[in-house]
Structure 1
Amino acid sequence: MYHPAGAEALFRTFRNRSDEAWLDILLSSLRVPGIDGVPMPGFPSDDLQREIHGHAGEVSLHEAHVFFREVKSYCAYAGRPIAPHRTLLDFGCGWGRMLRLFMKDIEPENLFGADSTSRFLMEARRCNPSVNFLSCQLAPPSILASESLDYVISWSVFSHLDEFLSLRWIEEFARILKPGGLLLITTQSRRFIAFCAEMRLRRASGISLEHPWYEACANSFVDEELETARYEAGQFLHAASALPPHPQSHYGEAVIPRGYVVKKWGHLFRMIDFLDNPVRLPQVLLVLQKP
């Protein structure tokens, strides 16, 4: 696939910068289109950024950087450190913000993003033509070849998909990852059940919920005691946005317990970690490795 000369120039110019220095460069690129003589990727409108992940600009880049550092750390720990020749897919890439963090560490032709929303992909390609952005359907398969990737990452996608689609995509990732490849995805934690209850309480108290997503949370997991018991029993929790046969019935709010991952996905991946630490990440991070 063709990549503009700027992509290689960016990789060569910034590849030896620290992760913290790279974040500063990306933050500067919000205002400056070229840094150290290198054209930088652009950004979509703040409205589109907020539509996808609730915030925009510097806040979005800081959140992406936190996830990026955890991914790099776990890849090194698992014996597959991030390197220029490695191949990485960001599943549910939106406008491509996560991939931007990896552009100093991985050759641009080895970076892939996939999303099922065409207008998000249009913006991703417009802002950053250096990266391979692929269209995917709601359910697999993808067009990627078997055992072609070293890493699959996915931020705040498995916090929304239902059990059927989650399992289908986990099976697809097992197909496209190389032996020893790593899958790093996030989902909601057990605390999210209580968060939804808090949103209901606020609404009942007459407090305006600032974002439509908070309204969706208030309508999710309405029987807090039952859902908590189901979580402790290792069951997949999902509150759908709509009833079948509406396509949004596969989407909503999801909470995936550790016990479920071990029981249902354990034949495909071994678990490296189930990081449930809100000081480090606002969602649970599942780190899985293909045998």
Structure 2
Amino acid sequence: MTLKGRLTYPLVFSHFSAIQATRWLDEFHRIARPGATLILTTYGRGHMSYLFGADPENLPAGHRAQRQMITECGGPSEITRMFELGEMMYFSVGNAFGAYDYGHAYVGEEFVRRIWGRKFDVVEVVDDYQKLEQMAVVLRKPG
């Protein structure tokens, strides 16, 4: 979605692997004017806190599935460890589009600053489930 040609809100980064996210960010960097602002959303620590702070029976089916995937890979502590290393966690969901084309991405601020911050200035990261279901990342193209 674009408002007045200045702000872009891609709402699909919660489903991109690091490979796909990097391809999209490369393209946004190519087409954006200097000073352009980009707001991305993805799953972060806040979403994990919600998933593991709630009674699993009260979670919607999709969120129960996400909780199960995280549990099977070592639980929230393993993803937190990945975040602290500046990495992200990606789970492929089905393969209708290819293994790296659709899934669930869990991204920490460390990854945002380390990888997404290579081509964009990281203006703000909001990772508070009380405010937003997904972590919001505000990037600006230098210029």
Task: Classify the TM-score, shorter chain.
Answer: 0.7 to 0.9
Amino acid at match of 1:166: A
Query: In the comparison of the two structures, how many residue pairs are matched?
Result: 138
Give SS of 2:66's match: helix
Q: Does residue 72 of structure 2 align to residue 216 of structure 1? A: no
After superposition, residues 3-22 of structure 1 pair within 5 angstroms as none
Change (3 A) 1:286 1:240: same
Unaligned segments of structure 2, at least 5 residues: none
Larger Rg computed on CA atoms: 1
Amino acid at match of 1:154: P
Amino acid at match of 1:163: A
After superposition, residues 1-291 of structure 1 pair within 5 angstroms as 90=1, 102=3, 106=4, 150-155=6-11, 157-197=12-52, 202=56, 207=57, 210-211=60-61, 213-222=62-71, 223-224=74-75, 225-242=77-94, 246-247=96-97, 249-250=99-100, 251-291=102-142
Give SS of 2:132's match: coil
**2-structure distance, mates of 1:154, 1:283:** 12
TM-score normalised over the length of structure 1 = 0.42
Greater RCO, CA 8 A, separation 6+: 2
Q: CA deviation at 1:150?
A: 3.2
Identity of aligned residues (%): 25
RMSD: 2.4
Give SS of 2:118's match: coil
The range that moved more, 174-183 or 187-196, is 187-196
**1-structure distance, mates of 2:131, 2:47:** 16
Q: CA deviation at 1:258?
A: 1.4
Give SS of 1:220's match: helix
**2-structure distance, mates of 1:257, 1:209:** 23
- Counterpart contact for 1:150–1:177, Cα < 8 Å: no
